[in-house]
């Protein structure tokens, strides 16, 4: 390794990771620019390649298929969805529902006879007939009736055959031997292959072990004929189920050992091995693993080791420089990138400073060309250029001149015609990236490939669009990007601007940056002092912000402060919330540390807590400006009608310990900004974080007597709600306590009728049918049930699996649970911390103790502390669970195919209505749940926790709350009284504006 070059490259990566797009692109534009003379030759070669590609379209049907069924059409989306799900559905009833759902609404008849491909036209007629059989989308049971009469499920069989055919287009073979035989067919003459054993990511250790064995077997099979020149591609995320920055100390050594074993095996067989690219958050880990293996003495002299680099990443060029400084020959495969949409979404969701990748397709093309030029010039890199873009290929051919010491690469099933002439007539080398695996394994891969290559901006899609001219298809990306100054795509705002001009998004921490993660963990550990094995000792609170244990005095102070605060202009009150949000972000690390120490939150949960509190402040400030100013209402001439929103008086806000900052502040600032004063009671387990928050609120401009803190237990809450001067109560906690509060507010006949805003718990169910992707289900179940030790109101309590898939999903879920780490929440590796206090621990452990053989899975926990083992419990029926267990205990039951409506009704009958989840690829299933589920928050094909302020207003119904929803557009008005004023202006001269009207118009 060249230490100086490698070290400088790593520093450059850090500087570029989230740098502004124009700054990153400026040197890339210079590097990617070609001379005028070269441009003429490049265009000439591009036009030739374009002609080759178009000629090849008449021979194969893949490109014609993509042209006929574009992904921006309802038909294209329907086919993609059907292909993604159909082959994994084991039961005929659900398969029929899926077919009806996907074929029923699209206009297949409009595509008949339009394609030059007989195969595409035949498939289209099959889809027309299929739609007719499912009742043109109007009779979803028609298919089942037809099958019953015919006695032969011919439509289902035909769809299954079509889906398997689609799979074979993009997958080289179901086994490595089958794939190797297929590479010997005439159409692959002159080409070699890089075989990739399908597996997007391991979810369990068993998955990782199976993928590792598949790689070992593949190396043996390919190594049996090294002269064929084929190679193997390895995906690190398939070899370790916890390939995450938080698990660095465990996964990096383990993956290094596995990659070393595979590399030594490949070297011994005389074949090449390339490490595939991963999401950007894993780049630093990947480089550590690859760098260590590259330097092994056992691999000295072997020139078959390589890695992939994604050009859409801002760090691509320094990664290439790093690869060239490893002190050995390195094969580097340059790709455009495969995780663009998920990278964009993750950056936005986590509120990070900027994107790790380019937001314009043309910018990625510029980066690709700049990286390609670096690779061609690097003495220790053997380049491989993976592209389906004729202009890109022609540019590389021009830059390479007479050299042939590099190769092109293309995906199996894509780019037919682009390289045949270059390979067979001009001596260039092209390798086909060839996925290998069963049809069930190809699903996620297939979808990503189609999305990646069918997107509107991709070259493959543009080629299929007859409306585009050759000049448009072959437009120079350097010119495109220079014309916009390298700026970010206008439709992709920075995360801070995600919600537009109305409010700033809360800023996050990049916990995928190991340095940031370790620094945060150090601060949190320093605050907690030791592993959170037991509750912290009582703390003395700042007397400046507490009202004392004497509730009456606190209410007296707040009542005296009400007139002045209520008269404070609306915009001034809103400004104090914005100022509080800024102070929360300025003190983020300390607030997180207290959350970890006092509420036993893990580091990601503590960060989410602070961000949610910030979002509440800014959202309610925005809602105040938009909705609490006086409103002029219509009426007859000579009359003025106005509606005003005023504070009610003193509110009591009673917060829970599970969100001791976000909910505590959310309830409190909503009441304040609406013009009320507040006596705020935190949970007795978490007074320190409340004290800190109140102090910041006072610093932000809220008068000290307008917000008074009263720590304490149930007796303080009871005294608060019993006082007739309390004009409203906002409460989050148990259903039983909410009932007590409601009764106390009605006991005094002389007391005004005041509002109660209550958000309580629920028996939150997730329903999973057989079309769902098990890997996604398991990931979302683990997150929903066990994150925060199951101590979220929204946490998953009841998993309802369709009978046909229950055993497989449960087995995968048990394997995923095995990977959870239970321990100190200040440790960045921890997934599940302790429960909040001894009472919660005793209650949960007593329940577990009575479950006996119903426990399917449980995990070991530390010997000391309030750690309740994550537990999976099998129920004989969903009716067996009749109450909420607030901890890391998940119950699972089954439901029969075709009984979705009855299953929803059974969940509704429990009376709770907080959250529900559905995993299904059938759109009509989602519509049915949406129409009939009596829950405040429904989550489809995602986890059930983590509601975002302003995007997913949160709150339940029935036994789960009163509404309105926190973080929603109707929340603030509940804290107000509405006062209408009507003035007859005729008594003071009438409507003078009428006198100025034109007489003719009048």
CA 856, 858, 861: angle at the middle one, nearest 5? 175
**pLDDT value of residue 143:** 44
Is the N-terminal amide bond of 964 cis, ω within 30° of 0? yes
Reduced to 3 states, what is the DSSP secondary structure of residue 790?
helix
CA 373, 374, 375: angle at the middle one, nearest 5? 90
Cβ-Cβ contacts under 8 Å for 26 (sequence gap 6 or more): 486
Question: What is the torsion angle, in degrees rounded to the nearest 10, for the CA atoms of residue 746, residue 748, residue 749 and residue 754?
Answer: -50
Q: Strand order in 631-633's β-sheet?
A: 631-633, 639-647, 976-984
Element (H, E) at 848: helix 838-849
**pLDDT value of residue 532:** 43
Contact of 382 with 406, CB cutoff 8 Å? yes
Q: Which of 251, 793, 804, 976 is catalytic?
A: 793
Contact of 363 with 482, CB cutoff 8 Å? no
For residue 943, give both structure tokens: 């986890």
Characterize the bridge pairing of strands 677-681 and 650-654: parallel
Reduced to 3 states, what is the DSSP secondary structure of residue 748?
coil
Q: How far apart are CA 325 and CA 305, in angstroms?
A: 14
Characterize the bridge pairing of strands 272-275 and 707-709: unpaired
CA 342, 344, 345: angle at the middle one, nearest 5? 65
Q: How far apart are CA 484 and CA 359, in angstroms?
A: 13
Contact of 64 with 53, CB cutoff 8 Å? no
Burial class (CB in 10 A: 0-12, 13-18, 19+), 928: middle
Q: Which of 371, 396, 361 is nearest to 42 (CA)?
A: 396
Characterize the bridge pairing of strands 855-858 and 871-874: antiparallel
Cross-strand bridge partners of residue 912: 958
Q: Which of 616, 377, 365 is nearest to 482 (CA)?
A: 365
Count of CB atoms situated within 10 Å of the CB of 353: 16
For residue 140, give both structure tokens: 């979803």
For residue 507, give both structure tokens: 């800023």
For residue 664, give both structure tokens: 């505590």
For residue 797, give both structure tokens: 């309590």
Tokens 């700026």 sit at which residue?
A: 487
**pLDDT value of residue 940:** 97
Reduced to 3 states, what is the DSSP secondary structure of residue 909?
coil
Q: Which of 75, 407, 691, 759 is catalytic?
A: 759
**pLDDT value of residue 144:** 46
Instruction: Give the distance from CA 856 to its chain's centroid.
Output: 29
Strand intervals (E) in 563-655: 631-633, 639-647, 650-654
Contact of 651 with 726, CB cutoff 8 Å? yes
For residue 543, give both structure tokens: 């007397």
**pLDDT value of residue 139:** 45
Residue 371 designated active-site: no
Tokens 């916009």 sit at which residue?
A: 484
**pLDDT value of residue 526:** 78
Q: How far apart are CA 447 and CA 82, in angstroms?
A: 11
For residue 660, give both structure tokens: 């001791």
Q: How far apart are CA 665 and CA 659, in angstroms?
A: 9
Is the N-terminal amide bond of 30 cis, ω within 30° of 0? no
Give the HSE-up count for residue 845: Cα atoms under 13 Å, Cβ half-sphere. Answer: 14
Residue 430 designated active-site: no
For residue 498, give both structure tokens: 């995600």
CA distance to 236, 911, 937, per residue, from 762 (Å): 39, 9, 11
Q: How far apart are CA 765 and CA 772, in angstroms?
A: 16
Cross-strand bridge partners of residue 307: 275, 332
**pLDDT value of residue 936:** 97
For residue 227, give both structure tokens: 């002269």
Q: Which of 667, 675, 670, 674 is nearest to 564 (CA)?
A: 675
Give pLDDT < 70 ranges for the chain: 1, 57-77, 104-155, 166, 200, 439-461, 463-466, 527-549, 988-1002
Characterize the bridge pairing of strands 305-310 and 192-197: unpaired
CA distance to 26, 320, 331, 370, 782, per residue, from 314 (Å): 12, 12, 21, 12, 32
DSSP conformational letter for 1001: T
Count of CB atoms situated within 10 Å of the CB of 468: 14
Length of the chain: 1002
Cross-strand bridge partners of residue 798: 765, 891
- 426 phi, psi to nearest 5 deg: -115, 0
Q: How far apart are CA 96 and CA 586, in angstroms?
A: 55
Could you tell me where the DSSP H helices lie in 151-303? 154-170, 176-182, 205-223, 248-269, 283-294
């Amino acid at each position: 390794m060249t230490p100086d070059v490698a070290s400088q490259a790593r520093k450059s990566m850090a500087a570029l990771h989230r740098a502004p797009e124009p700054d990153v692109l400026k040197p890339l534009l210079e590097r990617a620019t070609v001379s005028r003379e070269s441009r003429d030759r490049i265009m000439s070669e591009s036009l030739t390649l374009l002609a080759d590609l178009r000629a090849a379209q008449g021979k194969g049907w893949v490109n014609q298929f993509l042209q006929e069924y574009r992904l921006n059409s309802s038909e294209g989306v329907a086919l993609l969805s059907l292909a993604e799900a159909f082959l994994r559905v084991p039961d005929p009833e659900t398969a029929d529902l899926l077919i009806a759902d996907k074929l029923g609404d699209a206009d297949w008849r409009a595509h008949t006879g339009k394609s030059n491909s007989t195969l595409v036209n035949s498939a289209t007629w099959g889809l027309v007939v299929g739609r007719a059989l499912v009742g043109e989308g109007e009779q979803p049971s028609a298919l089942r009736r037809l099958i019953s009469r015919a006695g032969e499920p011919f439509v289902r069989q035909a769809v299954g055959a079509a889906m398997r055919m689609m799979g074979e287009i993009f997958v080289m073979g179901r086994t490595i031997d089958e794939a190797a035989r297929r590479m010997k067919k005439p159409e692959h003459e002159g080409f070699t292959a890089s075989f990739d054993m399908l597996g997007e990511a391991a979810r369990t250790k068993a998955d990782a072990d199976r993928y590792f064995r598949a790689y070992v077997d593949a190396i043996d099979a390919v190594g049996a004929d090294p002269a064929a020149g084929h190679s193997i591609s390895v995906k690190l995320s398939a070899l370790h189920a916890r390939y995450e920055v938080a698990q660095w100390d465990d996964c990096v050594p383990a993956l290094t050992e596995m990659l070393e074993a595979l590399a030594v095996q490949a070297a011994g067989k005389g074949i090449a091995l390339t490490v595939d690219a991963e999401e950007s958050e894993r780049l630093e880990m990947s480089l550590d693993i690859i760098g260590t293996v590259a330097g092994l003495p056992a691999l000295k002299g072997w020139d078959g080791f390589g890695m992939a680099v994604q050009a859409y990443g801002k760090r691509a060029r320094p990664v290439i420089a790093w690869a060239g400084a490893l002190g050995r020959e390195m094969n580097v495969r340059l790709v455009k990138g495969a995780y663009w949409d998920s990278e964009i979404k993750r950056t936005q969701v986590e509120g990070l400073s900027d994107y790790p990748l380019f937001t314009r397709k043309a910018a990625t093309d510029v980066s690709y060309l700049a990286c390609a030029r670096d690779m061609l010039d690097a003495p220790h890199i053997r380049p491989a250029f993976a592209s389906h873009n004729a202009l890109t290929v022609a540019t590389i051919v021009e830059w390479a001149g007479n050299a042939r010491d590099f190769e092109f690469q293309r995906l199996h099933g894509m780019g037919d015609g682009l390289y045949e002439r270059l390979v067979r007539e001009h001596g260039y080398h092209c390798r086909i990236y060839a996925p290998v695996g069963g049809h069930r394994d190809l699903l996620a891969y297939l979808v990503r490939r189609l999305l990646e290559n069918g997107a509107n901006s991709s070259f493959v899609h543009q080629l299929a669009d007859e409306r585009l001219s050759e000049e448009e298809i072959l437009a120079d990306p350097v010119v495109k990007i220079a014309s916009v100054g390298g700026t970010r795509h206008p439709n992709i705002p920075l995360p801070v601007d995600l919600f537009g001009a109305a409010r700033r998004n809360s800023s996050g921490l990049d916990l995928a940056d190991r340095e940031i993660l370790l620094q945060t963990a150090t601060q949190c550990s320093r605050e907690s002092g030791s592993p959170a094995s037991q509750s912290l000792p009582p703390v003395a609170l700042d007397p400046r912000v507490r009202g004392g244990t004497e509730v009456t005095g606190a209410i007296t102070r707040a009542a005296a402060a009400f007139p002045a605060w209520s008269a404070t202009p609306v915009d001034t009150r809103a400004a104090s919330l914005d100022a509080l949000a800024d102070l929360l972000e300025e003190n983020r690390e300390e607030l997180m540390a207290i959350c970890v120490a006092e509420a036993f939150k893990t580091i990601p949960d503590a960060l989410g807590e602070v961000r949610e509190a910030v979002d509440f402040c800014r959202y309610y400030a925005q809602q105040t400006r938009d909705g609490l100013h006086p409103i002029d209402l219509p009426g007859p001439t000579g009359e003025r009608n106005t509606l005003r929103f005023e504070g009610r008086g003193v509110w009591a806000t009673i917060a829970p310990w599970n969100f001791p900052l976000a909910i505590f502040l959310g309830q409190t600032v909503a009441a304040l900004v609406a013009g009320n004063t507040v006596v705020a009671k935190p949970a007795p387990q978490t007074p320190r974080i409340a004290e800190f928050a109140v102090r910041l609120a006072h610093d932000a401009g809220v008068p000290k007597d307008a917000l008074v803190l009263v720590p304490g237990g149930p007796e303080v809450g009871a005294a608060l709600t019993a006082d007739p001067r309390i004009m409203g109560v906002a409460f989050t906690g148990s259903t039983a306590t909410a009932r007590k509060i409601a009764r106390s507010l009605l006991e005094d006949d002389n007391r005004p009728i005041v509002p109660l805003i209550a958000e309580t718990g629920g028996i939150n169910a997730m329903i999973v049918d057989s079309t769902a992707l098990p890997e996604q289900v398991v990931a979302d179940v683990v997150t929903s049930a066990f994150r925060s030790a199951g101590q979220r109101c929204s946490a998953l309590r009841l998993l309802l699996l369709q009978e046909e898939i229950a055993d497989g999903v449960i087995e995968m879920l048990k394997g995923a649970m095995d990977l959870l780490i239970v321990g100190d929440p200040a440790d960045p590796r921890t997934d599940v911390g302790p429960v909040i206090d001894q009472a919660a621990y005793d209650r949960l452990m007593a329940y577990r103790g009575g479950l006996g053989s119903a426990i399917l899975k449980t995990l070991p926990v530390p010997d000391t502390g309030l750690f309740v083992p994550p537990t999976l419990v099998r129920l004989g029926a969903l009716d067996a669970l009749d109450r909420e267990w607030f901890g890391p205990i998940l119950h699972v039951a089954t439901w029969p195919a075709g009984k979705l409506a009855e299953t929803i009704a059974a969940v509704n009958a429990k009376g709770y209505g907080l959250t529900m989840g559905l995993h299904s690829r059938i759109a009509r299933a989602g519509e049915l749940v949406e129409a009939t589920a009596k829950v405040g928050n429904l989550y489809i094909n995602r986890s059930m926790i983590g509601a975002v302020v302003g995007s997913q207003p949160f709150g339940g119904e029935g036994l789960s709350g009163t509404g309105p929803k926190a973080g929603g557009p109707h929340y603030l008005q509940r804290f107000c009284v509405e006062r209408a004023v009507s003035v007859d202006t005729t008594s003071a001269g009438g409507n003078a504006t009428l006198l100025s009207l034109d007489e003719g118009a009048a």
